[in-house]
Amino acid sequence: MTTTATGAAAYAPDRGETGLQEQRARAAFWFLAPMLLMLFFVAAWPLLRSIWFSFTDTTLNNLYGGEWAGFQNYLTWRELPSGRIRWGGTLADPAWWNAVYNTVRFAVISVGLETLFGLLIALMLNAEFKGRGIVRAAILIPWAIPTIVSARMWGWMLNDQFGIINHMLLSVGLIDSPIAWTARADTAMIAVIVVDVWKTTPFMALLILAGLQMIPRDMYESARIDGIHPVRVFFRVTLPLLKPAIMVAVIFRLLDALRIFDLIYVLTPNSSATKTMSIVARENMIDFNRFAYGSAQSTLLFAIIFLFVTLYIWLGRVDLTGEGRR
C-alpha cells in the first residue's frame, strides 16, 4: 500500500494494485448479474418480443403462430384496379397521427405549464415566510394521490350536472350554462391537462426548489448590495444556475407525459380528442384484434421517446448520470 492510495484507491487502478482491482471488478460483475438478469427478463426481452410481433401477423389468440410480415403493419401500399394507390399500415392511419398529435400536444402544454407553475411555487417556497412548512406539506398532497384516484376525484368535480367546478363558474358568472368538460371534444383535452398539471406541478416545484437551494445565498447578497433589481437578478443569476435542474426535471416529465395512459383511460375514455399513443396502441392490441398492428404502434412510441431523449440530452447537454459532477 503506497501512501498516495487515499482517495484514488476506490476509483482508479493504481500501479501494484491490479490484483485488488481485478478482484473488485469480478465481484462487481457478480453484484450486477442478478439485477441485469432481472432487467433482461422484465424489460429487454418483452421489448424485443413486442418489436418482433410488430413485424409479424401475430394475433392475440395465437401468440406463437405469427408469420413474418415485414413492414406491413407500418406501411404498405397496393395498386387498386383503377390505378389508385391505397396506403395501409400505421404510418398511413389517420387515427395514429391523431393520437401522435394529441400526445405531443398534451405533453408540451402540460409540461410547459407544470414548469412555469413549478418555478413560481419553488420561488415562493424558497422565500422565508411564516407557515412555509405547511405550504410544502400541502403541495405534496396532489403528488401523493394515485393517478386513478385523482382522475376519479376530478371526474366528479368536473361532472356536468352536479360538479362543483360548473357550480363555481356559474355562481361567479363566468359561464351561463353548465359545461360538460370531459365530454365535449374541445374541452376534454383541457380537463386532462388541468388534472395532470394539478397532480404533477408539486413534483416540478420540489425538483426546482432543490436546485434553487443549491445556489449560494451570498450571490443574492452581493447582487443586493450592488443594487441590482431582483427581476434582473432572477433572469441573470438564478435562471442560468437553475437551468440544469430544470432541464432534468423537464425531461423526466416529458417522458412520463408522452406515455400517459391511466389518467385518460379513466377521465375521458374513448374520446378521440384525447386518445394518446398508448391508448390507441392498447386499443388495437386488445379491443380490435390487431395485436401486431398495436405492437407496431407501441414500437413506434418507444422509438419516438428514444429519439426524443437522445436529441434532448444531446442538444441540451443534460448531464443525467451525474458523472460529470466529479
Partner 1 sequence: MLHITKAAALRSSALAAAVAVVGSAAAAQGVTITYVSGAVGAAVENFDRLVAPWEERTGNDVVLVPMPASTTDQFGQYRLWLAAQNGDIDLYQTDVIWAPQLAEHFVDLTEAAAGIVDQHFPSIVESQTVNGRLVALPIFTDAPALYYRTDLLEKHGAEVPTTWAELTETAQRIQDAERAEGNSEIWGFVWQGNAYEGLTCNALEWIKSFGGGQIVEPDGTISVNNPQAVEALELAASWVGTISPEGVLAYQEEEARGVWQTGNAVFMRNWPYAYLLGNGEDSAVRGLFDVAPLPVGEGEGATSAATLGGWNVAVSRYGRNQEVALDLALYLASEEAQKQRAINEGNLPTIMSLYEDPEVLEANPYFERWQEVFLNAVPRPSAPTQNAYNQVSSLFWSAVHDVLSGNQSAADALEVLEADLEDLKGDGWQ
Partner 2 sequence: MTARAIFWNTMFYIAVAIVVVVAVFPFYYAVLTSFKTGTAIFRVTYLPDFGNLNWGNYQSVLSGRNFPRSVANSVFIATVTVIAALLLAVTASYALSRVRFRGRGLLLMTILAVSMFPQIAVLAGLFELINFLGLYNTPWALILSYTIFTLPFTVWVLTTFMRDLPVEIEEAAIVDGASPWVIITKVFMPLLWPALVTTGLLAFIGAWNEFLFALTFTITETQRTVPVAIALLSGASQQEIPWGPIMAASVIVTVPLIVLVLVFQRKIVAGLTAGGVKG
Tell me the closest approach of the beta carbon of residue 49 to partner 1, in angstroms: 15
Task: Assess 288 for contact with partner 2 (CB under 8 A).
Answer: no
Cell 466529479 sits at which residue?
326
Residues 6+ apart with CB under 8 A from 5: 14, 17
Q: Candidates 73-81, 87-95, 147-155, 182-190: pick the segment binding partner 2 (CB under 8 A).
A: 147-155
Q: Candidates 28-36, 75-83, 184-192, 217-225: pick the segment binding partner 2 (CB under 8 A).
A: 28-36
Where does 201-260 show beta strands of DSSP type E?
none
Select 179 or 242, whichever has its Cβ closest to partner 1. 179
Task: Assess 212 for contact with partner 2 (CB under 8 A).
Answer: no
Tell me the closest approach of the beta carbon of residue 111 to partner 2, in angstroms: 12
Distant-in-sequence contacts of 166-174, Cβ < 8 A, 24+ apart: none
Q: Are 118 and 208 in contact (CB under 8 A)?
A: yes
Task: Assess 268 for contact with partner 2 (CB under 8 A).
Answer: no
Task: Assess 220 for contact with partner 2 (CB under 8 A).
Answer: no
Task: Assess 289 for contact with partner 1 (CB under 8 A).
Answer: yes
Closest CA to 54 of 71, 75, 30: 71
Q: Candidates 26-34, 104-112, 130-138, 285-293: pick the segment binding partner 1 (CB under 8 A).
A: 285-293
Residues 6+ apart with CB under 8 A from 148: 262, 266
Task: Assess 182 for contact with partner 1 (CB under 8 A).
Answer: yes
Residues 6+ apart with CB under 8 A from 64: none
Task: Assess 298 for contact with partner 1 (CB under 8 A).
Answer: no
The 10 Å Cβ neighbour count of residue 216 is 10
Task: List contacts with partner 1 (CB under 8 A).
Answer: 59-63, 86, 88, 94, 159-161, 177-180, 182-186, 269-272, 282-283, 286-290
